[in-house]
Amino acid sequence: MAGSENLVHLSDQTFDEEVLKSDVPVIVDFWAPWCAPCRAIGPIVEEIADTYAGKVKVGKMNVDEHTRVASQFQVTAIPTLLIFKDGQVAKQIIGAVAKSKIIEAIDGSL
């Protein structure tokens, strides 16, 4: 999987700069490689990164490798998508949901 060039791979070290200080809304996909529902929505997240390029930043955060941010935002189930606006969580989506649900949440945050 090559992935989208519009997708940002986040870490505990880059999170504040990439997400909390972003001047556009940011969607963060908290996931893990062993999580089947995470792999199921992965392509949807990549499509969204391409569709909303320039309007919304889309990042993925591997919760196995980066635990600080996941625990800071109380991510206890994956996949979890958090939509940040102005450094705050604006929306939370838990589980592998339909693309339309994700788009609805994004459009409501723009």
Q: How many other C-beta atoms lie within 10 A of the C-beta of residue 55?
A: 10
Residue 42 is predicted with a pLDDT of 94
Question: Is residue 6 annotated as part of the catalytic site, yes or no?
Answer: no
Catalytic residue chosen out of the listed positions 8, 19, 28, 38: 38
Active site residue: 19, 35, 56, 81, which one?
35
Vertex 21: Cα angle to 7 and 6 (nearest 5): 10
Q: 97 lies in a domain?
A: yes
Tell me the pLDDT band of 3, cut-offs 50, 70 and 90. Answer: low
Contact 80/93 with Cβ under 8 angstroms?
yes
Question: How many domains does the structure of the chain reveal?
Answer: 1
Q: Residue 102: give its domain's CATH number.
A: 3.40.30.10
Domain assignment present for 2: no
Q: What is the pTM of this model?
A: 0.94
- For 57-94, the pLDDT digits (tens) are 999 999 999 999 999 999 999 999 999 999 999 999 99
- Please say if 67 is a catalytic residue: no
Q: How confident is the model at residue 4 (pLDDT cuts 50, 70, 90)?
A: confident
pLDDT computed for residue 1 by the predictor: 40
Question: Does residue 2 register a pLDDT over 60?
Answer: no
Domain assignment present for 1: no
